[in-house]
Amino acid sequence: MSLTHRILFEDNHLIAINKQSGDLVQGDKTGDEILPDLIKDYIAKKYDKPGAVFLGVVHRLDRPTSGVVIFARTSKALPRMNKLFSEHKTEKTYWAIIEGKAPNKTARLEHYLVRNPKQNKSYAHDHEVPNSKKAVLSYTVIKELDRYTLLEVKLETGRHHQIRSQLSKIGCVIKGDLKYGAKRSNKDGSIHLHARFLEFIHPVKKEAVKITAPVNVKDPIWKAVSKL
């Protein structure tokens, strides 16, 4: 799918993309092309901009994760969006498809995460331990399939691999997420974690913005829940 068809929101200050699994928001050791470079090319061509195009990375999604990711198109919007995210004045809602059933229909999870940079993994603990950071999320069961369950997850904090780590801790492993205990990988290397909604007050226009990212309906399991 071309980048044009993946644009969820665009104005003079911001642009939001429906990130596909595998897209890189920032460079890593693979040296693969990154999403910001594709967006800069799109902006340069669409608006016939000579020279370098400004694009600020506001937040990130893990490479195997899909969904809404937003970038700043102006130096005015970037620090304001950064402030909204750092002060938790955005509402981020994810969809996660887990193996089996959830222990409760709805729950609020509090853990303490310790990040292991060498493994690129975070470990969830029930109590505070050295070098840990408090992580809080809530989930609600949206739909149960035969072998999987769709959860809607709302973040109260933004920690490394927070959803993946916390759900795994309570036995709700995300489909395809081998790193956190999935039974098998997905063929395309994705995990069934999708940034579904992003809500915030526009940093310049001061208007409420709600962005919705469609799921990949070519995937039979996402298709089964896509009509919600």
Q: Judge whether 222 and 176 are in contact, CB under 8 Å.
A: no
CA proximity to 156, closest of 107, 208, 110: 110
Q: State the DSSP code for 140.
A: E
Enter the tokens of residue 38: 């594709």
SS3 content of the chain, % helix, strand, coil (to 5): 20, 35, 45
**How many C-alpha atoms does 109 have within 13 Å on its Cβ side?**
31
All residues at 6 or more sequence positions from 218 whose CB lies less than 8 Å from its CB, including other chains: none
- What is the SS3 assignment for 28? coil
Q: Is 62 known to be catalytic?
A: yes
The DSSP-derived string for 74-135 is STTHHHHHHHHHHTT-SEEEEEEEEES--SSSEEEEEEEEEEETTTTEEEEESS--TT-EEE
| 3-state SS record for 1-14 | CCHHHHEEEECCCE
CA 118 distance to own-chain centroid? 22
Could you say which of 62, 126, 146, 219 is catalytic? Answer: 62
Catalytic positions? 62
